[in-house]
Amino acid sequence: MKTKNSVKRSRILRAASESDLQPGTIDYERYRLTKAQADAQELKNAREEGLVLETELFTYIFQRVAQNISGILVRVPQTLQRKYPDISPVHLDAVKN
């Protein structure tokens, strides 16, 4: 059951902005905790909606894609040389570099 003081404090916290609160006070710490909980819930919701990815997962996917692209790009000069045997070495060097 809420007391008059806790109801009053809740109203003050809702009306107050972070700049109105003094660091180190119980109200400031409650405000910070509430804000952190809200931020964590927003992140969780965004993750569930597919709007954000875990860093580790994205890094793994990006590395795999980069390896595949690298393998393809390394073969481009050889493919060009086979397909166009008259291509000048200058042009092949330009593709390699």
pLDDT digits (tens, 9 = 90+) for 28-69: 888 889 989 999 999 999 989 988 878 898 899 999 999 999
Comparing 79 with 21, the larger pLDDT belongs to: 79
- CA diameter of the chain: 90
- End-to-end CA gap in the chain: 73
Do 36 and 61 belong to one domain?
no
87-97: average pLDDT = 89
Number of structural domains in the chain: 2
Residue 13 — very low, low, confident or very high, per pLDDT cuts 50/70/90?
low
The residue range of the domain holding 32 is 4-48
Q: Which amino acid is at 81?
A: Q
Do 9 and 43 belong to one domain?
yes
Q: How many CB atoms lie within 10 A of CB 9?
A: 15
Do 91 and 60 belong to one domain?
yes
Per-residue pLDDT for 1 more than 60?
A: no
At residue 80, the pLDDT reads 92
